[in-house]
Structure 1
Amino acid sequence: MSKPNRFEKIVNIKNKKVNFEFEFIDTYVTGVMLKGTEIKSIREGKVSLTEAYCMFLDGELYIRQMHIAPYSMAASYNHVAVRDRKLLLKKKELEKLETKSAEKGLAIIPVRIFINDRGKAKLEIALARGKKTHDKRQDLKEKDAKRELQRMAFD
């Protein structure tokens, strides 16, 4: 008889606007420093990345405006829903990101948050450049064309 996995519920919360608004240059998977009840709320899937962004403070990378709802079962020791949370990366990756993000037009944005197989919360971030409106229209045209080809293939 196999041992049941404690982390069977799959948590994979994506920031859906990001693919439409930005063009990805590099992606990284980072750890997040969390308080006790925050990880429990993440496991319940109560996280919002829509307004979140990353920035450097004193040489360290932080995520801002990520909303983690208060844990419903916590009595008085609950966490603050929106606060700055430190991201855990290797020193070389931090230095590379800091130099590249200083370039004009580049930003560090959260793409998705998930729970890995060891039960740790991980955040996927991307170094990205904002798309122009004509790029967005081109993406929509390509998406429609691909959908039309699939429709013809099934007929």
Structure 2
Amino acid sequence: MKIISNNKIAKFDYQILDDYVAGISLLGWEVKSIRAGQVNLRNSFCYFKDNELFVTNMHVSEYMNVKGDPTRSRKLLLKRSQLNKLLKQKTQQKLTIIPLNIGWKNGKIKLTIALAKGKTKYDKRQSIKEKDEKRKIEKLWKNY
């Protein structure tokens, strides 16, 4: 899958447990804007409504002179078994569904979503420390 945009904060704020690739229902101008790379997944999240999965707050910039709602809710296309599995895990384990990235696959736009658990401040600090340690080790190895 050729990635168009990533949700950079998702892996820092959440612990990713499982991921799925879903189709997304879009309007024509939204496809053109996404193709141009004018999409932001930063504050977006997924929710269930009438046993269907929607993504909201995914900002798709307006294309040329088209007037539309850039943050409207968009329906995600998954198989019924996947939807039931996601709904069951989300409610039982109190997890969140977040989009990780958006990209092209066989000429269609796909959204990678993840079942995730929010990190605490301690976990976030710990991940920052681990990244710093890795950088220091790589820097030392580079000098030798």
Q: TM-score of the superposition, structure 2-length normalised?
A: 0.93
Displacement after TM superposition at 1:153 (Å): 0.5
Match of 1:147 in 2: 135
User: Counterpart of 1:22?
Assistant: 14
Aligned: 1:81 with 2:70: yes
Q: Distance in 2 between matches of 1:110 and 1:66?
A: 9
Q: What one-letter code is carried by the residue in structure 1 that aligns with 2:18?
A: D
1: CA distance, partners of 2:60 / 2:41: 9
2:50 aligned partner: 58
Q: Is the 8 A contact 2:3 2:101 kept in 1?
A: no
CA distance in 2, matches of 1:16, 1:153: 27
Contact 1:63 1:84 in 2 (8 A): yes
Gaps of 5+ in 2: none
- How many angstroms apart in 1 are the aligned matches of 2:139 and 2:57? 40
Q: Which has the higher strand share?
A: 2
Partner of 1:5: none
More helix by share: 2
Q: Distance in 2 between matches of 1:80 and 1:133?
A: 34
* SS of the residue 2:43 aligns to: coil
> Which residue is 1:100 aligned to?
89
Deviation at 1:66, TM superposition (A): 0.8
Q: CA RMSD in A?
A: 1.4
- Does the 8 A contact of 1:63 with 1:86 survive in 2? yes
Q: How many residues align?
A: 142
TM-score (norm 1): 0.87
Unaligned runs of 5+ in 1: 1-9
Partner of 2:101: 112
Secondary structure of 1:30's counterpart equals: strand
CA contact (8 A) 1:35 1:79 kept: no
Q: Is the 8 A contact 2:32 2:63 kept in 1?
A: yes
